[in-house]
Amino acid sequence: MEKVKTQTIVKVGFLSATAFVLMYLEFQVPLFPGFLKLDFSDVPALIASFAIGPLYGVMVELIKNILHATITQSGGIGEIANFAVGSIFVYTAGVIYQFNKTRKTALISMAIATVVMAFTASLLNYYVFLPLYQKVMGWPMNAIISMSSAANKSIVDIKTLIAYGIFPFNILKGVVISLITLIIYKKISPILKH
């Protein structure tokens, strides 16, 4: 029993460290606001969620964001947002996958998790994170909209920022993370399951 606990801690630690490093490999996607950057740090968390269990995927999300908070430029808001949105994604996918661990279920679970993540990220940004950026970082909403409009002329207010920025960005992110996980999971999972 003690050996299993130690192995799980090592696996979560390794996947968290990998996720933390992958946070640095971020890039901007054309047509999306500059503050929405795509990285692959949710891949190790999703792998943990599938191979070890959904709560371990959330743990990977938590640890990578705690590590990243030590060097943040977002007052910690970016890390809280990343943790919340990433956790919703990997937990949703992991819970569904646990019922029937097949490739088909994995595809279904990632598709559902992508939609859930996009809707939740939209609501959280509208009601929590964008207002927090205004209060904590002192960014006026018109500056956020103006920066977003520079990338996509369809963005003219907070509602269009959500509709043409946040929501489609998270759909894209979910699809990319899902495809990468689909490609590498079978190669990595035997190591994580033993």
Tens of pLDDT, residue by residue over 18-58, are 999 999 999 999 999 988 999 999 999 999 999 999 999 99
Instruction: Let me know: does 113 contact 90? Beta carbons within 8 Å.
Output: yes
* pLDDT tens, residue by residue, 166-178: 999 999 999 999 9
Domains and CATH numbers, the chain: 2-24+33-193 (1.10.1760.20)
pLDDT band, very low/low/confident/very high, at 1 (cuts 50, 70, 90) = low
Is it the case that residue 194 has pLDDT exceeding 60?
Answer: no
Taking residues 93-105, report their average pLDDT.
95
- For Cα atoms 49, 54, 58, give the angle at the middle one, nearest 5 degrees: 85
Query: pTM, whole model, 2 decimals?
Result: 0.93
Beta bridge partners of 27: 38
One-letter amino acid for residue 131 of the chain: P
Alpha carbon distance 164, 55 (integer Å): 31
**CA–CA distance from 147 to each of 86, 109, 133 (Å)?**
24, 34, 14
152 φ, ψ (degrees, to nearest 5): -145, 110
Conformational region of residue 152, where left means phi above 0, alpha means psi within -120 to 50, and beta covers everything else: beta
Pick from 20, 135, 154: which is nearest to 77 by CA?
Answer: 135
The residues, any chain, with a CB within 8 Å of residue 6's CB and separated by 6 or more, are none
**Cα 67 from chain centroid?**
15
